[in-house]
């Protein structure tokens, strides 16, 4: 079964909690705090696996969760960080945010991609010892890991796309110019899934051709199978448009060509601008005059025209030689750039959830939405601290601290960032 879209839920691991512990050793009085830090939660990582050709596995498993980091322990022993969770996807998979549709990653290369970051481990109580607080009896919880729903879309990586109406001979053509073995029969929609074939032009020189099935009139609006598979044309560097020059099914080949191009333009106007070569198949079933009439139409539009008989590989080599020569002049396969992450103005007056606890005179703030802000704050940069202060005011955190009785000089702790409160 060919599956080219799937929606999954991923959750990175939470950081382990810091430990509250005190050093205990014979003949050592007042050993002091020695609670260790929690380990980092596991990341969720996407990796390309060329042995996969569909997203079918994601139909049966839709939730992926990495392990949490281990909690810290006494003796200043840090908890073990969790290993990353690897999710393997076919090459050419696009990763989008399921809610907004924002493109997060294009998995076309070999480099892995961190889809969700694990939470940092919490500090043990050994971090909180000061000259005035020598026996801290609290530690910090680990930060939560990222959690999101993503939509996976497979867009096949092919240099050349074979397009055309059903039963014009696309499957036959790809079977004779490559090692692909598609199903071939004399009825419509024989091919129900895209078929990839590698066309070899000699040592170290080859290109990938894809038979894109299901294109009929109305495909751009979802008629037939076309809307389902038109996305696989988007990466192609050029198109080979196969037509039935004999009109064996009662259709005019020129009208077929124009109809398919209208569907490409309807789905994505840029597709209609791709370089096209016409393969006029089934020349043995019509008169030379008809072939000449159709050729004149494409000559007038300066579109390369190749009469072929795919079933006996007649004329196919000339077609493939021309395609290879054209590919040498075209840019590489399209890789989509991720969309920038939307920037939220956290200084706007808005209620956001947070928790406030007080431990040994330290005011501890925890809020998942603060994590991204904390990553961007530079404590040594004035404007950065000013922005951070505005966020604390606008979100109500400062008001909550005042209501809790905070005084000048008291310590505020937000994950791994601490500061003295100054009203």
Within a domain: residue 332?
Answer: no
Within a domain: residue 338?
Answer: no
DSSP reduced 3-state for 85:
strand
Residue 159 CA to residue 323 CA, distance in Å, equals 10
Q: The tokens of 419 are what?
A: 């500061």
What total number of domains does the chain contain? 3
What lies within 8 Å, CB to CB, of 383 at 6+ separation is none
How many residues can be counted in the chain? 423
DSSP reduced 3-state for 323:
helix
DSSP reduced 3-state for 164:
coil
What integer pLDDT is reported at residue 190 of this predicted model? Answer: 46
Is the pTM above the cut of 0.85? no
Within a domain: residue 405?
Answer: yes
Within a domain: residue 193?
Answer: yes
Q: The tokens of 183 are what?
A: 């199903």
Write out the DSSP string of 285-320. GS-HHHHHHHHHHHHHTT--EEE-BGGGTBTHHHHH
Please report where in the chains the tokens 């929690």 appear, as a residue: 38
Domain C-terminal end among 111, 135, 157: 157
Within a domain: residue 335?
Answer: no
- Do 1 and 123 fall into the same domain? yes
- Do 355 and 320 fall into the same domain? no
User: What CATH number is associated with residue 6?
Assistant: 2.70.210.12
- Do 19 and 117 fall into the same domain? yes
Within a domain: residue 280?
Answer: yes
Residue 295 CA to residue 287 CA, distance in Å, equals 13
- Do 77 and 128 fall into the same domain? yes
Residue 365 CA to residue 282 CA, distance in Å, equals 74
What integer pLDDT is reported at residue 272 of this predicted model? Answer: 82
Domain C-terminal end among 132, 157, 182: 157
- Do 252 and 323 fall into the same domain? yes
Domain C-terminal end among 157, 186, 215: 157
Residue 417 CA to residue 399 CA, distance in Å, equals 19
Please give the residue range of the domain that contains residue 301.
163-327
- Do 40 and 184 fall into the same domain? no
Residue 411 CA to residue 362 CA, distance in Å, equals 5
Phi/psi region, residue 169 (left: phi>0; alpha: psi -120 to 50; beta: rest), is left
User: What CATH number is associated with residue 352?
Assistant: 3.30.300.350
- Do 177 and 144 fall into the same domain? no
Residue 32 CA to residue 75 CA, distance in Å, equals 10
- Do 174 and 282 fall into the same domain? yes
Phi, psi angle pair for 59, to nearest 5°:
-75, -20
Within a domain: residue 8?
Answer: yes
- Do 129 and 1 fall into the same domain? yes
Sign of CA dihedral 61, 190, 224, 234: positive
What integer pLDDT is reported at residue 95 of this predicted model? Answer: 96
- Do 348 and 409 fall into the same domain? yes
Give every residue of the chain whose pLDDT is below 70, as ranges: 1-3, 28-29, 180-193, 214-229, 343-350
- Do 175 and 317 fall into the same domain? yes
User: What CATH number is associated with residue 192?
Assistant: 3.40.50.300
Within a domain: residue 86?
Answer: yes
- Do 301 and 355 fall into the same domain? no
Among 67, 73, 83, 74, which Cα is nearest to 17's?
A: 73
What integer pLDDT is reported at residue 375 of this predicted model? Answer: 76
């Amino acid at each position: 079964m060919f599956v080219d879209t799937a929606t999954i839920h991923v959750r990175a691991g939470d950081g382990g909690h810091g430990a509250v512990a005190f050093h205990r050793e014979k003949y050592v009085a007042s050993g002091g705090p020695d609670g260790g830090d929690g380990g980092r939660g596991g990341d969720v990582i996407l990796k390309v696996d060329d042995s996969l050709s569909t997203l079918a596995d994601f139909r049966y498993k839709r939730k992926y969760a990495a392990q949490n980091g281990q909690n810290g322990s006494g003796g200043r022993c840090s908890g073990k960080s969790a290993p990353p969770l690897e999710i393997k996807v076919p090459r050419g998979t696009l990763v989008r945010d399921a809610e907004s549709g924002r493109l997060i990653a294009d998995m076309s290369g070999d480099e892995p991609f961190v889809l969700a970051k694990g939470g940092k481990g919490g500090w043990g109580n050994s971090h909180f010892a000061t000259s005035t607080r020598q026996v801290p009896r609290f530690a910090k919880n680990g930060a939560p890991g990222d959690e999101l729903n993503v939509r996976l879309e497979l867009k096949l990586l092919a240099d050349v796309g074979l397009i055309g109406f059903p039963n014009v001979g696309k499957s036959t053509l790809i079977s004779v110019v490559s090692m692909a073995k598609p199903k071939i029969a004399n009825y419509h929609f024989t091919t129900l899934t895209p078929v990839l074939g590698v066309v070899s032009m000699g040592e170290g020189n080859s290109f990938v051709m894809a038979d894109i099935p299901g294109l009929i009139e109305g495909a751009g609006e979802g008629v037939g199978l076309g809307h389902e598979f038109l996305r696989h044309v988007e990466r192609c560097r050029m198109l080979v448009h196969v037509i039935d020059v004999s009109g064996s099914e009662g259709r005019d080949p020129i009208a077929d060509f124009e109809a398919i191009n209208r569907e490409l333009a309807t789905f994505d106007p840029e597709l209609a601008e791709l370089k096209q070569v016409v393969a006029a198949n089934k020349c043995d079933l019509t008169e030379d005059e008809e072939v000449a009439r159709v050729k004149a139409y494409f000559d007038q539009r300066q579109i390369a025209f190749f009469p072929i008989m795919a079933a006996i590989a007649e004329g196919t080599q000339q077609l493939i030689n021309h395609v290879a020569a054209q590919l040498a002049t075209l840019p590489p396969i399209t890789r989509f750039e991720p969309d920038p992450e939307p920037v939220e103005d956290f200084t706007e007056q808005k209620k956001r959830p947070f928790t406030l606890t007080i431990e040994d005179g330290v005011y501890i703030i925890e809020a998942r939405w603060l994590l991204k802000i904390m990553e961007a704050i530079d404590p040594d940069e004035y404007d950065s601290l000013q922005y951070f202060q505005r966020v604390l005011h606008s979100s109500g955190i400062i008001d909550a601290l005042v209501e809790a009785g905070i005084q000048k000089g008291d310590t505020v702790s937000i994950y791994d960032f601490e500061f003295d409160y100054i009203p």
